[in-house]
Amino acid sequence: MQKITVYEKPTCTTCRKVSKALTEAGIDFNKVNYYIEPFSKTKLKELLRKMNMKPSELLRKNDAAYKKLKSRIEKLSEDEILNLMIENPDLVQRPIVEVGDKAILARPPEKIKDILS
């Protein structure tokens, strides 16, 4: 099986559930705390392409950071939203699970089954 990478915020409950499920299934995976190892624009674009999502679809719309910037975000292009997400990782939905040429937003955590099958 190809290497699995989970892009996460370790204090996130959903991220912890995904890590626990992978560990309990005996699956070896890498964890990337994107607050310590920030996304490059290239990497975030690649993940979005693998998930077949636009940057605006990956925004954490319930987060305080989004609510604070909402009026500004609504006027931005997808590329500008991508840049804002790189500058402010709180805007990125999580966890993102990547396996080879596929990636998913593992919300709810049970969605990891989609990428493991």
Q: Which tokens go with 35?
A: 């607050």
- Which pLDDT does position 115 carry in this prediction? 82
Q: Is the pLDDT of residue 1 over 70?
A: no
Is the pTM of the predicted complex or chain greater than 0.85?
yes
For the chain, list the domains and their CATH numbers: 4-116 (3.40.30.10)
Alpha-carbon Rg of the chain, whole angstroms?
Answer: 14
Burial of 7: CB neighbours in 10 Å, binned 0-12, 13-18, 19+:
buried
The pLDDT tens digits of the residues spanning 2-52 come to 899 999 999 999 999 999 999 999 999 999 999 999 999 999 999 999 999
Q: Is the pLDDT of residue 117 over 80?
A: no
- Which pLDDT does position 4 carry in this prediction? 95
- Which pLDDT does position 39 carry in this prediction? 97
Mean pLDDT, the chain, rounded, equals 95
SS3 92: strand
